[in-house]
Amino acid sequence: MAAPATPTKTMVVKIGSSTLVHAKTGIDRAFIANLAHQAAELRRMGWNLVVVSSGAIACGAPLLGFERRPHDMPSLQACASVGQCVLSAVYDEEFRSADLLTSLVLLTRHDTARRSSYLHARDALTRLVGLGVVPVVNENDTVTVDEIRFGDNDTLAALVSCLVSADLCVILSDIDGLYTANPALDPTAEFIPRVNKIDAKIIGSAGDSSTAVGTGGMITKIRAARILMTAGVECVIASGAAEDPLVRLAAGEAVGTRFVPPADRLDIAPRKLWIALGDAARGKLTVDEGAAHAVVENGSSLLPVGVTSVEGDFATGDILDICDRAGFVLARGQAEAPSDELKLAAGRHQDEIAQNRLLAALAGKPAVHRDNMIVFA
């Protein structure tokens, strides 16, 4: 492999199944060969590259005789197992031709749900990048039951970007960026080159996936971009069919839609990034307008009095989504009490909680403490 120069920046690229695998012809080897060429050029430009690759199930399905993506879990897992071998072999061959070494990293939520294992994953990826390797990361769909689902690898790309302290995350798809509406359905849809804040309007402009081999849609990419903006990492959604998009982005060209984090998001504590990304939310707290303002604008803890409803069955320390009345996720944090207690405490003032024998342990405590909460950008 080529001796690594002294890369000073790191780029994470997420490649969707619809970009990487074609329903009739299978894996697009030419695309991976071009990706390897771009990786080599990025190395010369001072960039490391980490690849988050979908496509294992889409690769394995035709090899096992499935004409379309199966629906039962054992078949999906079998397809992932076979397809991952094929996919990894092609990455290895094409990147070696470009004098680059790849590695395979398979992750599940179990690997990141605990902070200690999250840090181990971070250390392993950081070491690989430091050794000049191009890690190829995927969800371990062969053993994961609840994560072979819509949009999984968009979130995984955001997680990996935070783990390796990426300077840029690029999500390659079958569309060239974000539009005001789905351009496949609305001819008046306008392209959005830059996003500085993701609000309900931006999320509402996202359409669904229209491909047979993918599981993600624009909405999952927007959610991933929002997490990245919260972490202070720039994100670009671009077309995988564009000419050398990674190299052009590294050179400063405008490609796709760029999501730019606010300046105050450049120094987020690593522990808060784990809260945002390490584990899936186990429940949801809906809050009133006063509590929403206190959390978002004032950086306050969330008090039980501001909670209007509690959903889910969770324990103390579990990760919760904090939403406004419209269902928009404002923040994520760790529960200070289990779900049954918070359901009883919701909407109550502290003095009322203190006088309730069942809730006395919650007296003086928030539902979610600000030190264990991250507010999304």
**Domains (range + CATH), the chain:** 9-270 (3.40.1160.10), 281-375 (2.30.130.10)
Does the annotation flag 141 for ligand binding? yes
| Residues contacting residue 190 through CB under 8 Å, at least 6 positions apart | 179, 180
Does the annotation flag 319 for ligand binding? no
Does the annotation flag 220 for ligand binding? yes
Output b/e per residue, 181-216; b: 16+ Cβ within 10 A: ebbeeeeebeebeebeebeeebeebbbebebebbbb
- Given a contact cutoff of 8 angstroms between Cβ atoms, the answer to whether 174 and 216 are in contact is no
Residue among 13, 21, 18, 14 at smallest CA distance from 214: 18
| pLDDT of amino acid 215 | 41
Does the annotation flag 14 for ligand binding? yes
Does the annotation flag 130 for ligand binding? no
Does the annotation flag 221 for ligand binding? yes
Does the annotation flag 155 for ligand binding? no
- C-alpha distances in Å from residue 330, one per residue of 257, 261, 273, 325: 23, 16, 15, 11
Does the annotation flag 218 for ligand binding? yes
DSSP SS3 for 32: helix
Q: Where are the alpha helices (DSSP H) in 189-254?
A: 200-204, 218-230, 245-250
Which one-letter DSSP state was computed for residue 267?
S
Does the annotation flag 364 for ligand binding? no
pLDDT band at 42 (very low <50, low <70, confident <90, very high): very high
Does the annotation flag 272 for ligand binding? no
Q: If you compute the radius of gyration of the chain from its CA atoms, what whole number of angstroms results?
A: 22
CA–CA gap between residue 33 and residue 49 (Å, rounded): 15
| pLDDT of amino acid 13 | 98
Least confident among 66-80, 196-210, 244-258, 289-303: 196-210
Please tell me the pTM assigned to this model: 0.85
Does the annotation flag 219 for ligand binding? yes
CA–CA gap between residue 339 and residue 367 (Å, rounded): 10
Residue among 265, 351, 269, 350 at smallest CA distance from 302: 350
Q: Report the pLDDT averaged over residues 217-229.
A: 87
Q: Report the pLDDT averaged over residues 5-34.
A: 87
> Tens digits of per-residue pLDDT, 154-197?
888 999 998 999 999 999 988 899 998 888 888 898 999 999 99
CA–CA gap between residue 361 and residue 60 (Å, rounded): 53
CA–CA gap between residue 342 and residue 284 (Å, rounded): 11
> Tens digits of per-residue pLDDT, 286-340?
999 999 999 999 999 999 999 999 999 999 999 999 999 999 999 999 999 999 9
